Amino acid sequence: MPTPNTLFDKVWDAHVIRHIDDGPDVFFIDRHFIHEVTSPVAFLGLEGRNAPVLFSERTFATADHNTPTLNQHLPVADPLSANQLDALERNSAKYHISHWGLGHQKNGIVHVVGPENGITLPGMTIVCGDSHTSTHGAFGAIAFGIGTSEVEMVLATQCIMQPKPKKMRISVNGTLGKGVVPKDVALYIISQISASGATGYFVEYAGDVFRTMSMEGRMTVCNMSIEMGARGGMVAPDQTTLAYLKGRDLAPQGEAWDKLVPYWESLKTDDGATFDVDMTFDAAAIEPQITYGTNPGMGTGVTRQIPTAADQADGDASYQKSLAYMGFAENESMIGKPIDFVFLGSCTNGRIEDFRAFASIVKGRRKADNVTAWLVPGSHIVESQIKAEGILDVLTEAGFALRQPGCSACLAMNEDKIPAGKYAVSTSNRNFEGRQGPGARTLLASPLVAAAAAVTGVVTDPREFLN
């Protein structure tokens, strides 16, 4: 009998070109996404060696990281950003790479446009010069971020040298409670195992909750895998996956689709396969989450108090430094804390499902006067859906404005920066010191928690607004 294999093993082993004893694997890459920030130096390396891009049809370029989210029809004001965007366009043309720049109807955040256009498929290996490439693992792909020198390597060889990570399975069983959405599941897991608890592992998400989760929800969870230290995360493809992909512009069509379906359906962990670490959580224990510190593991249920330093593995000094930066103290309640900004967007929560959730809370209400809200769709396709579904009307009536697609305030590489000392309830993925602007204070949360804060001006339990 063949040895039972995990989903991760099946995909990884199928892409190993050469195994080096006591070293990395030479690993073939099916899809390579590039953007304006990490690619220019990689292309300079190719030019210096007079090397071509080996398989240009496997690389896809989009502008996202430092693009403006207002007036995208105008020249980009920031010289560095403008130069990077121009370089991406020039290099894509020179090497015959598909390029979706500002103004292109398919432009948007790289980890949003890949799946929504059918570029991301089950069983693939996917890399990008961005840590949140793990998002694509929602489709049963092995996807991870790489550095600039590795971007050059993939452009030149379509391969990368990687040691095979250890394997971890995280199962969440049961039924999620009212107001608990995929972002809460991700933040809860990270709060339980810490921001480094999955370091060195590739995570498979399993159990009742993930089997019933939408593709957009799965993308949110896989996106946050990197925030627990994992190399990446993945969910086995199923009928939910196939239903999402079928008919997408760049997905296989007709006979090509029919031939691939049996293979995709085989991509699951065999009974009896083993993991280096196996964890299980109870869905009933999860409530809407919010972070209070300076890493994604410093989170708690929105109705709970900030834990004491004695409960933290990192020790008192580090914990107190984090609370001091945030202006918080042990045992304080999160409910009622005043906020200044709300950010809905990013590759974590910039999809149509996230805007539907946000709108469900703000409908019939008004934005709080003390709140500045940046609502940023992950792509022009999402933007079109927002308008077509009437969500824009709901947002406008509630006093909100919609911005144009881009990474925006997730990492503050454009004009969307949270001022020093201000509090932002953010649906993005990182709350490090200065992540959203020098001195900015970030509270990570779901679109529902963000919406509740946006209409009250303080941290609020979104369940108060749900039937």
Show pLDDT as tens, one digit a residue, over the chain (467 residues). 789 999 999 999 999 999 999 899 999 999 999 999 999 999 999 999 999 999 999 999 999 999 999 999 999 999 999 999 999 999 999 999 999 999 999 999 999 999 999 999 999 999 999 999 999 999 999 999 999 999 999 999 999 999 999 999 999 999 999 999 999 999 999 999 999 999 999 999 999 999 999 999 999 999 999 999 999 999 999 999 999 999 999 999 999 999 999 999 999 999 999 999 999 999 999 999 999 999 999 999 999 999 998 877 666 888 999 999 999 999 999 999 999 999 999 999 999 999 999 999 999 999 999 999 999 999 999 999 999 999 999 999 999 999 999 999 999 888 999 999 999 999 999 999 999 999 999 999 999 999 999 999 999 999 999 98
Q: For position 313, what pLDDT does the model report?
A: 66
At which residue do the structure tokens 């947002």 appear? 395
Pick the CATH number of 7-162 from 1.20.1300.10, 3.40.50.1820, 3.30.499.10, 3.30.830.10: 3.30.499.10
d(CA 6, CA 11): 9
- Does an H or E element contain 382, and which? helix 380-388
Q: Is 238 exposed, middle or buried (0-12, 13-18, 19+ CB in 10 A)?
A: middle
Report in angstroms the alpha-carbon separations of 435 from 52, 311, 430: 36, 26, 7
Are 7-162 and 289-465 in the same CATH fold?
Answer: yes
Q: How many CA atoms lie within 13 A of 253 on its CB side?
A: 5
- Integer CA distances (angstroms), 397 to 365, 391, 394, 449, in order: 8, 10, 5, 20
In the CATH hierarchy, which fold is given to the domain comprising 166-238+268-285? Aconitase; Domain 2 (3.40.1060)
Strand segments, DSSP code E, in 296-340 are: 299-301
Phi, psi (deg, nearest 5) at residue 302: -60, -25
Q: Which pLDDT belongs to residue 317? A: 82
143 three-class SS: strand
- The residue to which tokens 């490090």 are assigned: 432
The H or E element containing residue 161 is strand 159-162
Give the 3-state secondary structure of residue 233: strand
**Residue pair 433/294 in contact by the 8 Å Cβ criterion:** yes
d(CA 369, CA 383): 25
- Alpha-carbon torsion, ordered 276, 429, 35, 142, to 10 deg: 20
In terms of residues, how long is the chain? Answer: 467
Specify the pLDDT at position 62.
Answer: 98
Residue 211: φ, ψ to 5°: -65, -30
Q: Which residues contact 97 (CB under 8 A, 6 or more apart)?
A: 34, 53, 56, 59, 60, 61, 91
Domain extents for the chain?
7-162, 166-238+268-285, 289-465
d(CA 191, CA 289): 9
Question: Rounded CA gap, 218 and 138, in Å?
Answer: 5
Give 260-268 contacts, CB < 8 A, sequence gap 24+: 260/121, 263/123, 264/121, 264/122, 264/123, 264/140, 264/237, 265/237, 266/10, 267/7, 267/10, 267/11, 267/122, 267/123, 267/140, 267/236, 267/237, 268/7, 268/236, 268/237
N- to C-terminal Cα distance for the chain? 52
Structure tokens at 10: 């099946």
| Residue 422 one-letter amino acid | K
Beta-carbon contacts of 374 under 8 Å, excluding residues fewer than 6 positions away, are 69, 341, 342, 343, 344, 345, 403, 408, 409, 416
Evaluate whether 59 touches 32 at the Cβ level (below 8 Å).
Answer: yes
CATH of domain 289-465: 3.30.499.10
Instruction: For residue 291, give the nearest of 450, 453, 443, 454 by alpha carbon.
Output: 443
CB 260 within 8 Å of CB 252: yes
Read off the tokens for 285.
């224990």
